[in-house]
Amino acid sequence: MKKMLIFYLTFISLSSFSQHLKRAELSILENGAIIQNPFTGGLSSSQLSNIDFNNDGINDVFVFERIGDRTLTFIKNSNGSDLNYTYSKEYSSSFPKLEKWALLLDFNCDGKEDIFTYNDSYVRVYKNTSDDNSLSFEVETNALISDLGPIQSAIIISEVDIPSFVDVDFDGDIDVLTFKQSGGYVEYHQNQSQELYGNCDSLIFELKTDCWGKFFEGLNEYDFNSCQSQTTIDQPIIESRSSGGHSGSSTLTLDIDGDNDMDIILGDVSFNNLNLLINTGDSEDALMTSVNQDFPIGNGSNVSAEIESFPAAFHLDVNNDGIRDLVVSPNTNNNAEDFESIYLFLNSGTDNAPVFEFEKTNFLQELILDFGTAAYPSMIDYNNDGLKDLIIGNYGYHAGNNPSSQLALLRNIGSETEPNFELIDRDFGNLSAINLDTSLVTSVAGLTPTFGDLDNDGDVDLIIGDGTGKIHYFKNTAAIGSDAQFELENVNFFSIDIGQHSAPFLFDMNEDGLLDLVIGRVDGSITYAQNNGTETNPVFNSLLEDFGDIYVNNDESLYGFSIPFVFVEDGEIQMLIGSESGQIYHYNNISGNLSGTFNLLSDNFQNTQEGKNVACLYEDFTGDGRRDMFFGMQSGGLFYYINDSTVSSNTTYGLSNVIDIYPNPSNDIINIKSEEDAIAKIYSIHGQLLINKRVSNNSQIDISHLQPAYYFISFKTLDNSKIIWKKIIVQ
């Protein structure tokens, strides 16, 4: 007996709605437990600082996510020593737009953390102007100025470095330690606030030395006690550092050994562990003579922070004991390691003589929904229960430098109107074990899924694009009504190869009843592959590049990373394009214009820009006839937006008052009652045109050949003046 599906009927006309999407939450389970903070967008390259957001006297955690330049705010849930935090996005909106790096510290001794951040190679400082009721910041300076001797100049800090803002000389004001722009040597800019004014509220600096600690840092090696001034430094060393050196370093300065001088913890793009250099000089004349390249091993821990991509260390109190702990995270702007890449070492010593003991590798990440690097959401009813499930592709979970790309399955355990999900498989179909390109030593990274019935057997098949630019076909071999089961049918499907980053989407673009391919590309353009086959045998033997003249290239890079989503609304095909910049582009003027230029309606759809490399899924998940949105980010997480649009009072429904469909649900024949002749078209939820028929009053449509599922039916008058959409259920 065919499974009965939940019935509901909607009348849809986009002109009737003032579209509005807003951030929303829903429940997601993994391993039987609720994921506390599912929709944060993921954490991959995180910079962490303390701040009390809600003025409860408890330190909370500010996170600047380097991938996507995102600000995340986490509230500590109690004044105990637990590590339970809640993502509280309402505080994020109070922060200015930040980029590259951002650290919070109190420079003027008013008890409120200020912002130090990147500003086009300079340091911008925002003063904390918050009161008891609201969080606010204002610009204190757009560039820290330092007296270099003959001239005064802005302190220059590379966008890939993380400097130290710390009281180096223990006089009560904030100094600056940072690697020189050319690398290798550390500059010390001393704050003159105390010297000049006897207080800490000024940001006036003087370059004390361009070789603090008297060491040179190269590629996994150090030259100790051999320091010369920038003006007289041995040229071969400079050339070695510039040509063969690395392009980024992180610095954390603190007194490790309790001798009242600053030691330094270094991370670097060229090595995967923290390096500790102990100051054997003093606070006035620092001298480094040795290095521990496995820190914090040797300082209370038997575990090092093995971050394959550019480790960075942060000093903050996470367990509310008044003593700052050590947190280590990648500082890469590209692919972070995985969803367990924020190391936490709790301090069992003191601030001045810390003992860092290993606690976990997934601080905060254990509380969120994260799919490693990148998240590409798609929709399928994989178990034929009438509920929309989620399949999430990704660039990969990283082990070393080798990503392992997978598909994650989130089963909808809610209802048609109240979705909730359970993450039941992070490697759905065991795709990580399938080598889609035998020419590569490792598996292909960057799996982008799309679904549709390509062989007309009543179930949906799977198409996957990959990071090499190819397309792969997986046939659904499950029996009708059973859980979907995908088996690899064709590697490099029809030899489609767009060079890099293929992001396919299946949709019947020319309304001939066959699913076509719309493929996003790394350069931000779209390629169209028309299906020239039959209902049971697809053929994709021709490609149309620069489809619709779409080009979503990021002005700040060479890439666009277009990821398309196609849908029908208000009787016409429309398209959303996710991009590297995080903007979602909205196009129409597509129907009947496949060889022309599409119309750009918006370059920031619904103001949903949240981060970098966005991929969107725009479907009705709440059963109200309005499309909601999931979208994934480069940092590996998801956001969920619900459509809370309201119907205007002067709405005209067109045909909706004169069209009736019965019975609905049905398994053989549906009857049409209409006061006007119209063209009826029945589509699958994947946009495939299945039936195209002219109807009038008392017409019938045979649906007995359709598999149990829900479908969309459109009615358009013969003069094209009126159109409505309804949902039908085949049981």
Sign of CA dihedral 102, 107, 108, 112: positive
**Pick the residue with more confidence: 626 or 127?**
127
Q: What does R_g of the chain's alpha carbons equal in angstroms?
A: 29
Q: What is the pLDDT of residues 184-224, one digit of tens each?
A: 899 999 999 999 999 999 999 999 999 999 999 887 688 88
Confidence band of 711 (pLDDT split at 50, 70, 90)? confident
pLDDT score recorded for residue 440: 61
pLDDT score recorded for residue 674: 81
Q: What is the pLDDT of residues 325-362, one digit of tens each?
A: 999 999 887 655 667 889 999 999 999 899 999 999 99
Average pLDDT of span 220-241: 52
Residue holding tokens 């303390």? 50
Q: For the ranges 32-46, 48-62, 430-444, which has the lowest average pLDDT?
A: 430-444
CA 402 to centroid of chain Cα atoms: 19
pLDDT score recorded for residue 5: 29
Separation CA 503–CA 144 (nearest Å): 44
Separation CA 600–CA 584 (nearest Å): 11
Separation CA 372–CA 402 (nearest Å): 12
The candidate with the shortest Cα–Cα distance to 571, out of 21, 19, 9, 16, is 16
Separation CA 532–CA 406 (nearest Å): 30
Q: Peptide bond before 403: cis, by omega within 30 degrees of 0?
A: no
Percentage of the chain lying above the pLDDT 90 cut: 63
Q: What is the pLDDT of residues 250-299, one digit of tens each?
A: 999 999 999 999 999 999 888 888 999 999 999 889 999 989 999 999 88
For 156, residues 6+ apart whose C-beta sits below 8 A from its C-beta are: 121, 122, 181
Q: What is the pLDDT of residues 294-318, one digit of tens each?
A: 999 988 888 988 887 789 999 999 9
Separation CA 10–CA 420 (nearest Å): 21
pLDDT score recorded for residue 277: 95
pLDDT score recorded for residue 13: 34
Show contacts of 659-663: CB within 8 Å, 24+ apart: 659/715, 659/724, 659/726, 661/9, 661/713, 661/726, 661/728
- Between strands 215-217 and 222-224, the pairing is antiparallel
Structure tokens at 457: 């057997």
Q: For the ranges 216-230, 341-355, 454-468, 634-648, which has the lowest average pLDDT?
A: 216-230
Residue 464: phi, psi to the nearest 5?
-125, 130
Whether 251 and 186 have beta carbons less than 8 Å apart is answered as yes
Q: What is the pLDDT of residues 422-444, one digit of tens each?
A: 999 999 999 888 888 766 656 67
**Pick the residue with more confidence: 496 or 655?**
496
- 89 CB neighbour count, 10 Å cutoff: 16
pLDDT score recorded for residue 314: 98
pLDDT value at 118 more than 80: yes
Tell me the CA distances in angstroms from 421 to 29, 366, 424, one per residue in order: 6, 17, 9
Percentage of the chain lying above the pLDDT 70 cut: 90
Q: If DSSP codes are grouped into helix, strand and coil, which group holds residue 92?
A: helix
The candidate with the shortest Cα–Cα distance to 517, out of 566, 551, 466, 447, is 566
The candidate with the shortest Cα–Cα distance to 606, out of 581, 628, 638, is 628
Tell me the CA distances in angstroms from 6 to 623, 628, 709, 728, one per residue in order: 10, 19, 10, 11
Structure tokens at 211: 């070789």
pLDDT score recorded for residue 658: 56
pLDDT score recorded for residue 235: 31
Confidence band of 243 (pLDDT split at 50, 70, 90)? very low
Sign of CA dihedral 678, 684, 687, 689: negative
Sign of CA dihedral 118, 120, 121, 127: negative
pLDDT score recorded for residue 624: 83
Q: Is 97 exposed, middle or buried (0-12, 13-18, 19+ CB in 10 A)?
A: exposed
Q: What is the dihedral angle through the alpha carbons of 646, 651, 652, 655, rounded to the nearest 10 degrees? A: 20
Separation CA 306–CA 46 (nearest Å): 15
The candidate with the shortest Cα–Cα distance to 682, out of 671, 693, 673, 674, is 693
The candidate with the shortest Cα–Cα distance to 55, out of 111, 93, 120, is 111
pLDDT value at 553 more than 80: yes
Instruction: Give Dmax over CA atoms of the chain in angstroms.
Output: 95
**Pick the residue with more confidence: 711 or 420?**
420
Confidence band of 165 (pLDDT split at 50, 70, 90)? very high
- Between strands 205-209 and 145-147, the pairing is parallel
pLDDT score recorded for residue 247: 62
Average pLDDT of span 486-513: 93
For 32, residues 6+ apart whose C-beta sits below 8 A from its C-beta are: none
pLDDT value at 10 more than 80: no
For 131, residues 6+ apart whose C-beta sits below 8 A from its C-beta are: none
The b-or-e profile of 416-430 (16+ CB within 10 A means b, else e) is beebbbbbbebebbe
β-pair partners for 691? 682
Q: What is the pLDDT of residues 400-415, one digit of tens each?
A: 556 788 999 999 999 9
Q: What is the pLDDT of residues 527-544, one digit of tens each?
A: 999 999 999 999 999 999
Confidence band of 489 (pLDDT split at 50, 70, 90)? very high
β-pair partners for 683? 689, 712
Report the phi/psi class of residue 501: left, alpha or beta, with left for phi > 0 and alpha for psi in -120 to 50. left
